[in-house]
Amino acid sequence: MGRDKALLEWQGRPLIEHALDKLRRLGAHPRILGTRPDLERFAPIIHDNFPGLGPLGGIEAALSVTETQLNLFLPVDLPLLPHEFLRWMVSRAGLTEAAATIPRIGDRLQPLCAIYHRRLLSGIRTSLQRGDAKVTRAIEESARDVGMRIDYIDVEAVDAALDDSAAWPRHRPMRRWFQNLNTPDDLAQSILEQTPRIH
């Protein structure tokens, strides 16, 4: 993107505000993972215990301080992801109590927009201690270590199975829900998709 994404303006507000608002609409008290003191005006910061090891380091840091068993993680750069989907995913995780609840769209897992059980902490920490910061591998190994299953959600299959009365977002296309804003073109396209059309 060439600039910091957390403070990137989208629909007149920084992306960080959009992400935090989605979490607060679920009744959550969100925290920001990382080492950015300038973001503390938006929400409390949780600093990495393993600096420089990417998203898995942030997941470990969050699980090391959380008081809840199930914890929702949301990247800052998914402004098109409906909050209704997050609500549905939280509800599902509460029913299954899986080690991890991870969406999949097409053949792509979304391990950074997922729910992780606190019991994964020890295995994740072990992965980081040996310098392995691959999120999916660490989650799968950690779940196996504690004898818990992973709930992979095929988003398109769930959409096809549910009727219109279900508490499920009907925003289309679903592949765009998980479109990260990595380039100026991605940003421009996402803004265009949210602009009302006059017929």
CATH number at residue 102: 3.90.550.10
Q: Considering the domain boundaries, does residue 4 fall inside one? A: no
Q: Considering the domain boundaries, does residue 3 fall inside one? A: no
- At 16, phi and psi to the nearest 5? -60, -35
Give the model confidence (pLDDT) of 81-127 as tens digits.
999 999 999 999 999 989 999 999 999 999 999 999 999 999 999 99
Q: Considering the domain boundaries, does residue 26 fall inside one? A: yes
Residues 6+ positions from 86 with CB-CB distance below 8 Å:
22, 23, 26, 72, 74
User: Residue type at 65?
Assistant: V
Q: Please give the model's pTM, rounded to 2 decimal places.
A: 0.89
- Of 102, 103, 84, 75, nearest to 18 by C-alpha is 75
Indicate whether 154 pLDDT > 70: yes
* CA pair distance 117, 59, nearest whole angstrom: 11
How many separate domains does the chain show? Answer: 1
Give the model confidence (pLDDT) of 23-81 as tens digits.
999 999 999 999 889 999 999 999 999 999 999 999 999 999 999 999 999 999 999 99
Per the document, the length of the chain is 199
* CA pair distance 68, 23, nearest whole angstrom: 15
Q: Considering the domain boundaries, does residue 103 fall inside one? A: yes
| Residue 53 belongs to domain spanning | 9-193
Q: Considering the domain boundaries, does residue 1 fall inside one? A: no
Q: Considering the domain boundaries, does residue 70 fall inside one? A: yes
Q: Considering the domain boundaries, does residue 162 fall inside one? A: yes
Q: Considering the domain boundaries, does residue 49 fall inside one? A: yes
- At 101, phi and psi to the nearest 5? -120, 110
- Rounded to an integer, the average pLDDT of 127-135 is 97
10 Å CB burial of residue 196 (0-12, 13-18, 19+) is exposed
